[in-house]
Every structure is written in structure tokens, then in C-alpha cells.
Amino acid sequence: MMNAFLRILKTAMVKSAPPPIASRKPSKVEGIKERSNFLREPVATEILQDTTHFSEDAVQILKFHGSYQQDNRDNRVKGQEKDYQFMVRTKSPGGYIPPQLYLALDRLADEYGNQTIRATTRQGFQLHGILKKNLKTAIATIIKNLGSTLGACGDLNRNVMAPPAPFKNKPEYEYAWKYANDIAQLLTPQTGAYYEIWLDGEKVISAEENPQVKAARQRNGKGTIFHNSEEPIYGTYYMPRKFKICVTVPGDNSVDLYTQDLALVVITNEQGELEGFDVFAGGGLGRTHNKEETFARIADPICYVAKEDVYDLVKAIVATQRDYGDRTDRRHARLKYLIHDWGVDKFRLVVEEYFGKAVEPFKPLPEWKYHDFLGWNEQGDGKLFLGISINSGRIKDEENFQLKTALREVVQQYNLPIRLTPSQDVILFDIDPEHKQAIEDIFNRRGVITNPDRIEQLTRYSMACPALPTCGLAITESERAIPGILERIRTLLNKVGLKNEHFVIRMTGCPNGCARPYMAELGFVGSGPETYQVWLGGSPNQTRLAQAYVDKMHVNDLETYLEPIFVFFKKSRRKSESFGDFCTRVGLETIRNFANSYQPGTGNKAVKARHRITVRDEVYEVLKEVAARQGQSMTDVVDSALKLYLKNFSAS
């Protein structure tokens, strides 16, 4: 395998020195990719076997097809086989989901999944809980309903992100979606494996491929492609690791562009015509606790590229990472490490070799803003769009809150397409204004709030990854823990006199960073059972990395850790200064000093001990609904209700 590996690398080599990795042993996954015959085996064989799960090699290849083998970690019993199940992820550039696909996913979730659909942080949908025997039907159904899962996971280009707001009167948005689609196409695996395995070889007629993209894929820059390979861009070994791209417009950072391996920003002229793109590269968030050589990193500005050359530049950057990314150590394999190790100048030089000419300097850009596009909005062509907030992206039905049913009814009745947002929400668009009230009524009837001002604002701007019970890498809870955490933070803020304050809070069950916690103003990163690393100081528009404040905070100690910080913030913030900006301005050392000398209750209206009372499930559900409706925390609702009730007793 080693020889073949070196040969391929040499074929791709330009004038630069051979990559240092050539002298070290490639990681195990490189061999699995080589043996897979372009992503066919062992999946093609094992999918036909009557088993509950795949072999380790097949699991690695299955990822490229958009599915992860998982087990329900709540059901683990020592000595018994795991409760194996599969997660299936869609690849939907710019988060675009046609109505037919949404309805198919909704049915699949009920028939084969865990009755929920999950909107992801990269504008995809995930189904969880699918058994191996149903995996083929699930993936085939997605393909036949205009979707795809090919390349949603694995060592290749992942879902290409783009701003979700479906504006029809802002040409720059149209360009962002078009190029997100085209770049996704450019970098789609060309192997026949996907259709062979999931559709028995039947090729589905999908939208015609853009001929410019097709030509660009075959065009050899200086070593960007492998001739006569089933995979002209990727070759036998695909990428060293996942590769993430976004295309956005100046000022719109709904896509968290600094966290991407490659970010393109549409540059138009005064007439609104596309001229080219500013290019950033080298962002990435995954890290491992106590391994300083792994870190979150934000992307650097690299260059400007004219629109005619954009595919060639994307290929040049992909080829640079493909050939020089570290294939010996998967923890050091992302593009961010290559750029960190080389520096931007060397990276640019190598990219230019593949590109075949010098790149142009980066163009100045306006300030970035973060938008979530929730609520009712004009889309610019007389129609409306409606952004619906989804807690941690989980679309499900509960007793008094039937989000899944409501979305199905609305999509079905009005045949509405969806754009998923990078903050795990959904936007329904192309809505005829005449249907506004009827749609509003469906959501109201099902207990879903459409007015974003009526949502608890900490929840609105928060994100949490799935973590337990599905994620095999979770160290602790995230999605299931965040409602309680936000509730406690709201109570704490109210008590220290920061009643309507809100900021970006993100939580993950491990340091991989799937909900991008390192860009949050307040981030929680699982570091042990019920224990989190706390990160402070990201910006409200996600342009700055946060910093680790505490490594291990037990969840029970949340108030002890956060109260002094909030009190300090209240006391010393500048006018309109956000929490993250404050933490960065004063610095973590100053915050630590304040916290160390902080005496709860000394003139700061500090929080007293928290008391816990259990409520029955049915009361909890009603309470949750009432609190959401009133835009209050559950604690506040209980507090007022009990005060009222107890008054009768103290009076008698």
C-alpha cells in the first residue's frame, strides 16, 4: 500500500519539495480507503449480510456515503451486544431542501428512525436510530426524493454552506447559492459506488450538471487532477480529512465563515454583477483535551480570485491540502494545521503553483454581522419567508408542542421549500402573503412560536450538539442538558440584575466542536461526566475565538462559576458592550482575579443557594409551554405561580 501511496503522491507533486508525510506511515484509514475500490467495499458486501452492524473497515467507508454507525448509549448493558443503529445525514448545499425531500425525511423518521429529524450546524438534516436492515431503503428514499447523502461525512468536501435568507432582490445572495451548488458539484465524488450500493446501479436523473463545472473538474491545473482515475480530483485516497467550504456575501456571517477550511465571499460591482471572490482558508475547531498540539483556529484572508478562475483556485487549494495535508496523524490532518505549520505565505505560494499563476490581493470587506433570519420577512419578490427557531435543531412532537407535525402540515399544504440555517433553524420560503395567517394558525395550534421576540433569547442564540445518547464520541450531555443550563443562566442573570441580557451560548459534549462553541460568547465543552470546560470571549458576530476559562466545571457548580463573572460584567461593562466583548476587553486573568475575591451576597444582590423541587411530567410540559409563550424562564413562572398560591396560606 505504501508504494502505491507514494506513487500517487508523486504523480500529484508539483515543483515543491515532497511532503514530509511521505517518510512516515500513513494512518490506518488511508489503507481502508485504498482497499475500498473507490468507496465500494466492504460496504457493498456487508450491506447484503443479515447482521446488525458493519465491520470497522466498512464503518469508515460508510461515512463517505453519509451514514455513521452508532449505538444508543442509554441502552448499553455490559456483556450484551450494543443497540446498533445508524445516523443518516443529508448533503444539501446552502441548506436547500425541496418540499418533496422534507416530506420523505419526515416519513423516514417515523417509519425507520427515532421519530425526530435533526437540523445540523452545517445546514443538513440528520435521521437517527435507523437499523442496518433499513439503511438501504432510507438512503434510496432520500436519493429518489431529490436528496443526497453522498459525501455528507468522510474525508472529502462536506456540505457547502451559504447564507440561508432566501432574498430574491439581492443578487449577491443568488451568487452565493449558485456557487455553493457548483462547488459542491465540482467536489462531489465521481465514483459509481454510491448508486451501485444504494440504488442497485440505477442512476437517478438529477438536475443537469453545470457544463462549466464539468469542464473545470477535468481541467488539469498544474497537478490538480489524476488522469484516468475514477476520482479525478480526489484520487484513490480522497482527502486526508474532512474539508469544509462556505460561500457567503459581504457582511453576512450567518455561516460562521472563520471556522471553515475554505470560505469564499462574493464580490460584486456597483451594478450588482459578480466580479469574483475574496478567499479565506485555514479555519477549523476540533481539538482534544490536554493535547496542546490540537487547537481551534480561525481562517486567514488568503487572496481575491476573479469569477472565471474560481473553480481552478478551489481545486488548487483542495489539491494543496490533498497532497500536503498530514495523512499520518488524523489529529493533525486538517488544512488548519498545514497553514499553521507553513504560514500563510508559503501556503499561498504552493497554491499558486497548482493554480498556475499568482493570486490577486484580498479586497477590503465591510464588518461582519450575524443574522438568524427568524420570524416573518419579505423575500423581495412579493413573497414571504418564515424562520422557525428549533431548539438544538431537533424537530419532534411533544404533548403540547408538535413542531414536527406543524412543519409537515405546512410544507405539505403549501408545498414550501426549506433552507436550513447554520444555527440549526429552518426557513420556509416562497410563501404567498395570502397564506400567512393560515400558516400562522397551524403553528399556533401546535404550540410553535413564530415571533422570535417571544422566544427566550438565550435559547434563540444558543446551539448544542447531539452528544448522548447517539454520538459515540460524547463525553457528557449536550442537547439534553442545554435547556436546563439556559434556564439556570436566565435565573442567574435575572438575579444579578441583567434581566433582558442575552448572548451567544453554545455547548458540546466533547472538544470536537460540532456546535462551534469556541466562537461563542459563553461556550461549554464536555470535559468529563457532567463536567464542562468553560470558554469565554467569542464575539456576537462570530469573528473571534473564545478562550478557555475553566477546564472542569461540574454542572452543579454552574452558578458558583458564573455568578461572579456576570456580576463583574454588570458592574464594569461599557455602554451596550456585549458579554463576549467585555470578557475579551478585560481579559480572563482579570475575571479570574475578580472571581477569586468575590464574596457572594456582598452588595451584589448575589444568588443564594438554589433549591430543587421535582414536578410531575405533565406539569413540566405545561410549564414549559407557558414559559415559552410568555418568554420567561420556567423558574420565574413557577416562582410567580407559587407565590400567588402560597399567599392564600399565609393570609389564612
Choice from 21, 59, 87, 410 touching ligand SRM (CB under 6 A): 87
Out of 33, 65, 244, 332, the only residue in the binding site for ligand SRM (CB under 6 A) is 244
Using the 8-state DSSP alphabet, how is residue 129 labeled?
Answer: E
Instruction: In angstroms, give the least distance from the CB of 68 to ligand SRM.
Output: 5
Q: 3-class SS at 279?
A: strand
Stretch that binds ligand SF4, among 334-342, 427-435, 472-480, 629-637 (CB under 6 A): 472-480
Note if 471 is an active site residue. yes
Q: Which of 314, 448, 467, 536 binds ligand SF4 (CB under 6 A)?
A: 467
587 Cβ neighbours under 8 A, 6+ residues apart: none
Which one is catalytic: 510, 516, 544, 573? 510
Query: Measured from the CB atom, is 120 or 389 closer to ligand SF4?
Result: 120
| Binding letters toward ligand SRM, positions 317-346, x by CB under 6 A | -----------------x------------
Integer-rounded Cα radius of gyration of the chain: 25
End-to-end CA distance of the chain: 85
CA distance 130 to 88: 8
One-character DSSP codes across 66-77:
TEEEEE-GGG--
Among candidate residues 153, 303, 514, 583, the one labeled active-site is 514
Q: Is residue 513 a contact point for ligand SRM (CB under 6 A)?
A: yes
Amino acid in the structure at residue 380: G
- At its nearest, how many Å lie between ligand SF4 and the CB of residue 283? 16
Rounded to whole angstroms, how far apart are CA atoms 230 and 38? 7
CB nearer to ligand SRM: pick between 264 and 274: 264
- 598-604: long-range contacts at Cβ-Cβ below 8 A with a sequence spacing of 24 or more? 598/563, 598/564, 598/567, 598/568, 600/563, 604/496, 604/567, 604/571
Q: Which stretch binds ligand SF4 (CB under 6 A): 317-325, 411-419, 510-518, 620-628?
A: 510-518
- Among 87, 474, 565, 627, the residue binding ligand SF4 under the rule CB under 6 A is 474
- Smallest separation (angstroms) from ligand SF4 to the CB of 470: 8
304 backbone dihedrals φ, ψ, rounded to 5°: -115, 145
Count CB atoms within 10 A of the CB of residue 575.
4
120 binds ligand SF4 (CB under 6 A): no
3-state secondary structure 544-584: CCCEEEEEEEEHHHHHHHHHHHHHHHHHHCCCCCCHHHHHH
| 478 binding ligand SF4? (CB under 6 A) | yes
Alpha-carbon separation of residue 266 from 171, 178, 277, 300, 366 (angstroms)? 10, 11, 5, 16, 12
Binding ligand SRM (rule: CB under 6 A), the pick from 5, 68, 179, 532 is: 68
Instruction: Pick the closer one to ligand SRM by CB: 427 or 595.
Output: 427
604: partner contacted, choices ligand SF4, ligand SRM, none (Cβ within 5-8 A by kind): none
Secondary structure element (H or E) that encloses residue 126, with its range: strand 125-130
SS3 309: helix
Separation of alpha carbons 296 and 544, rounded Å: 11
* Residue 73 known to be catalytic: no
Verify whether residue 244 is a known catalytic residue.
Answer: yes
Which is nearer to ligand SF4, 153 or 299 (by Cβ)? Answer: 153
Active site residue 610: no
Q: Does 465 bind ligand SF4 (CB under 6 A)?
A: yes
Is residue 242 flagged as an active site residue? yes
- Number of continuous H segments (helices) and E segments (strands) in the chain: 21, 21
CA 641 to chain centroid: 38
Instruction: Assign residue 509 a region (left: φ > 0; alpha: ψ between -120 and 50; beta: otherwise).
Output: alpha
- The phi, psi pair for 195, rounded to 5°, reads -75, -30
What's phi and psi for 640, nearest 5 deg? -65, -40
Rule CB under 6 A: which of 513-542 touch ligand SF4? Answer: 513-514
> Cα separations (Å) of 241 from 172, 199, 347, 471?
31, 27, 18, 19
Candidates 170, 244, 394, 624; catalytic one: 244
The size of the interface with ligand SF4 (CB under 6 A), counted in residues, is: 13
User: Is 510 a binder of ligand SF4 (CB under 6 A)?
Assistant: yes
Q: Is 510 tagged catalytic? A: yes
393 scored as a contact of ligand SRM (CB under 6 A): yes
Q: Among ligand SF4, ligand SRM, none, what does residue 509 contact (CB within 5–8 Å per kind)?
A: ligand SF4
State the minimum distance, in angstroms, from the CB of residue 412 to ligand SRM.
Answer: 24
**Residue 466 in the binding site for ligand SF4 (CB under 6 A):** yes
> Which of 67, 259, 512, 578 touches ligand SF4 (CB under 6 A)?
512
Question: Which triple of cell numbers denotes residue 67?
Answer: 451514514
Residue in 509, 538, 540, 580 binding ligand SF4, rule: CB under 6 A: 509
Check residue 394 for interaction with ligand SRM (CB under 6 A).
no
Active site annotation includes 408:
no
Taking CB under 6 A as the criterion, which residues in 588-627 touch ligand SRM? none
Minimum distance between the CB of residue 214 and ligand SRM, rounded to whole angstroms?
25
Following DSSP, what letter does each residue of 15-76 receive, concatenated? SSPPPGGGGSPPPHHHHHHHHTTTTTTTHHHHTTS--SS--HHHHHHHHHTTEEEEE-GGG-
Strand pairing partners for 553?
Answer: 532
* From 465, 495, 544, 583, active-site residue: 465
CB of 85 to ligand SF4, least distance (A): 15
When asked if residue 236 is in the footprint of ligand SF4 (CB under 6 A), the reply is no
- In the set 246, 303, 471, 583, the catalytic residue is 471
Q: Which of 242, 322, 336, 408 is catalytic?
A: 242
Active-site residue flag, 153? no
Report the Cα 563 to chain-centroid distance in Å.
Answer: 30
Q: Is 285 in the site for ligand SRM (CB under 6 A)?
A: yes
The catalytic residue positions are 89, 158, 242, 244, 465, 471, 510, 514
Q: List residues near ligand SRM by CB under 6 A.
A: 68, 70, 87, 89, 120-122, 124, 126, 152, 158-159, 244, 259, 284-286, 334, 393, 424, 465-466, 470-473, 512-516
Q: List residues near ligand SF4 by CB under 6 A.
A: 465-467, 471, 473-474, 478, 508-510, 512-514
